[in-house]
Amino acid sequence: MRLKDKVAIITGAANGIGLAAAKTFAREGARIAMADFDEETGSNRAAELSADGYDVAFFQVNVADRASVDSLVQNVLGYFGKIDILINNAGITRDGMLHKLSAEDFQKVVDVNLTGVFNCAQAVVPAMVQQGSGRIINTSSVSGIYGNVGQTNYAATKAGVVGMTKTWAKELGRKGINVNAVAPGFIETGMTAAVPDKVIEQMKMLVPLGRLGLPEDIADAYLFLASDESKYVNGTTLHVDGGIMM
Ligand code: CAA
Ligand code: NAI
């Protein structure tokens, strides 16, 4: 019960890594706001966790839309009474080589992966400052650290997330709020299911552990950064990628 009675907002919790995080956090005693654009899947997954006895509720949100994020935060405060942890996990890809990438696809990824992270953090911080404690965990990527063919837009946002993480760690540390990031490698979710097999095989060969990661591998890293065991960890980016690049 490493998160007993902690209230966590997890964005992108309907699928993939966010869903695994919701399950892991629930088992550790957290009360969870599962926030996602995908209302149907998200509310079904939340209902399943509630039926298992966990304190979980679904909230529909578009992280790219500030008004939607503000409503999310107000609704979560109304429902759970506080916010201890924000997992900024929602993200999208719109891959394309630089010469083919449209301005729309560049902007769309920025809106969700960069502005979305900013929106959610800015919206939860007043409540965390008021209670004098909080954890914000952002999701970067191996692509943001080392670059990746076909991911101009995505890599830019995931590198930007690292910069925001360090900045907020400096701004918010004295207010009792730790801010860290996780940089996953290639993880088996819907996001990587769209990657051509040839690229996946190449990636597997580059990973010293010899496999793609599982959503639970990232959920465990979120758990560490949300728990008391990381109370002196601030501003770091934890690479959870099987050692794909060092
Ligand atoms: N390394 C080196 N060269 C590569 C490459 C790679 N990883 N991927 C593609 N290329 C090369 C191709 O071999 C090809 O070379 P030639 O022109 O000499 O034949 C050239 O780049 C163009 O490739 P495509 O023919 O595939 O071009 P396309 O326009 O049809 O598609 C693409 C481009 C959409 C980027 C497609 O290659 C693709 O989907 N690649 C995978 C991108 C990727 O890794 N995305 C990760 C998604 S998962 C995720 O984002 C999670 C995370 O955080 C890691
Ligand atoms: P996924 O595609 O399985 O799940 C993403 C979730 O985010 C979906 O439920 C989707 O509905 C939600 N979402 C998308 N746009 C949203 C929006 N505007 N508002 C609210 N919710 C929205 O993806 P996955 O793999 O679980 O990714 C989770 C995070 O991990 C993302 O930030 C991704 O960039 C990052 N990541 C994933 C890696 C991978 O290999 N799967 C590797 C590195 C980072």
226 CA → ligand 2 middle, Å: 19
- H or E stretch at 173: none
The pLDDT of 225-245, averaged and rounded, is 98
12 CA → ligand 2 middle, Å: 6
Residue 60's alpha-carbon distances to 14, 178, 218, in angstroms, are 10, 26, 23
pLDDT value for 246:
87
Is the confidence at residue 210, as pLDDT, over 90? yes
pLDDT value for 180:
99
pLDDT value for 159:
99
Give me the domains of the chain, ranges plus CATH numbers: 7-240 (3.40.50.720)
Query: Which pLDDT tens digit goes with each residue over 129-159?
Result: 999 999 999 999 999 999 999 999 999 999 9
- Of 134, 144, 162, residue with least CA distance to 225: 134
- Helices 116-131, 152-172: crossing angle, 10 deg rounding: 10
Distance between CA atoms of residues 32 and 215, nearest Å: 18
Give SS3 for 129. helix
- The pocket around ligand 2, CB under 6 angstroms, is made up of 11-12, 14-18, 36-38, 61-64, 89-92, 112, 116, 139, 141, 184, 186-187, 189-192
Task: Check the annotation: does 157 bind a ligand.
Answer: yes
Distance between CA atoms of residues 191 and 14, nearest Å: 13
Strands, E assignment, 17-159: 31-36, 56-60, 85-88, 134-139
Distance between CA atoms of residues 50 and 134, nearest Å: 25
Average pLDDT, whole number, for the chain? 98
Query: Which pLDDT tens digit goes with each residue over 172-183?
Result: 999 999 999 999
